[in-house]
Amino acid sequence: FAKFPVAAFSRTASIMAAQSVPKVRIQLLLKGCANRPFYHLVAARLRRRPRDEDTIEQIGSFNPMPNERNEKLVAINFDRLNYWFGQGAKTSPGAGMLLGLAGYTSMHPKVYMEAWRNRRAAIAEEEKAKKEGAETNTEGAKAES
């Protein structure tokens, strides 16, 4: 490129142009009011917590509060989600867990860890109930004799 300085300039200009493209992440943007959270699934410029001015496009919504049928509602525009994944967007951990539970991506490791902890807590609770039940049975048998 020493003989052709124009080519060197165009090469550095293309590198700079590639670096100036904002990195996009699929994230959950907190909306709603106190004790009533509501999330928008958005494509946003890469930040730890997205703000309204950082969002590029709203892709879906997530209501974590159970309704009368004990359902948590999720609405996602998969066409736009595919577009942003095609543009190289990554997911935040929360959005990754939500998309994994929806069956769109592979399950996030935190989902497996949470399920494992819940199973262990349920087993410990059952053992505690059995132990208390056995103690009350032995006390009842002693009282009868």
Could you tell me the pTM of the whole model? 0.64
Where are the chain's structural domains? 22-94, 108-145
pLDDT value at 3 more than 80:
no
Q: Domain 22-94 is in which class?
A: alpha beta
Identity (one letter) of the amino acid at 83? Answer: Y
- pLDDT single digits (tens) 25-74: 999 988 988 889 999 999 988 766 667 777 889 999 999 998 999 998 99
Confidence of residue 103 (pLDDT cuts 50, 70, 90): confident
Strands 24-33 and 90-91: parallel
- For residues 11 and 5, is the Cβ–Cβ distance under 8 A? no
Structure tokens of 12? 């550095």
